[in-house]
Homo-oligomer: A and B are copies of this chain.
Amino acid sequence: MAFLKVVPLEKALDVVNALPLKPKTEDVPLEEALGRTLAEDVISPMDVPPFDRATVDGYAVRAEDTFMASEANPVRLRVVGEVHAGEAPSITVGEGESVYISTGAPLPKGADAVIQFEDVERVGNEIIVAKPAYPGMGVMKKGADIPKGKLLLKKGTVLGFKETALLSAVGIARVRVFRRPRVAVISTGNEIVLPGQPLNAGQIYDINGRAVADAVREMGGEARFLGIARDDLESLKALILEAVEWADIVVLSGGASGGMRDLTASIISELGEVLIHGIAIQPGKPTIIGVVKGKPVFGLPGYPTSCLTNFTLLVAPLLRRLLGREGQVRKVRARLKHKVFSVKGRRQFLPVKLERDVAVPILKGSGAVTSFIDADGFIEIPENVESLDEGEVVEVTLFG
Chain A residues near B (Cβ < 8 Å) = 30-31, 34, 46, 48-51, 53, 55, 57, 84-89, 102-106, 140, 144-146, 160-174, 189-197, 199-211, 213-215, 217-218, 225, 255-259, 302, 304, 364-365, 367-370, 372-373, 399-400
Contact = CB atoms under 8 A, between A and B. Distances in A.
Interface of A is mostly: loop
B368 A103 contact: no
A50 B87 contact: no
A166 B204 CA distance: 13
Contacts of A197: 171
Given A85-B190, A85-B191, A105-B202, 15 more contacts: A30-B210, A34-B217, A50-B204, A55-B365, A84-B190, A102-B256, A104-B189, A104-B257, A144-B368, A146-B370, A160-B214, A161-B211, A164-B210, A165-B214, A165-B372
Copies of this chain present: 2
A20 B55 CA distance: 37
B51 A85 contact: no
Contacts of A258: 57, 102-103
18 contacts: A48-B204, A53-B204, A86-B189, A89-B202, A104-B191, A105-B202, A106-B201, A106-B202, A161-B217, A161-B400, A162-B373, A164-B214, A165-B372, A165-B373, A171-B205, A172-B195, A173-B194, A174-B196
A210 B161 CA distance: 7
Given A165-B304, A369-B166, A373-B166, A85 B189 contact: yes
A255 B202 contact: no
Contacts of A204: 48-50, 53, 104, 169
Contacts of A256: 85, 102-105
A161 to B, nearest CB: 4
Contacts of A87: 190, 202
Nearest to A230: B86
Contacts of A193: 171
A311 to B, nearest CB: 10
B104 A31 contact: no
B86 A207 contact: no
Given A169-B207, A169-B369, A201-B88, A214 B140 contact: no
A259 B55 CA distance: 15
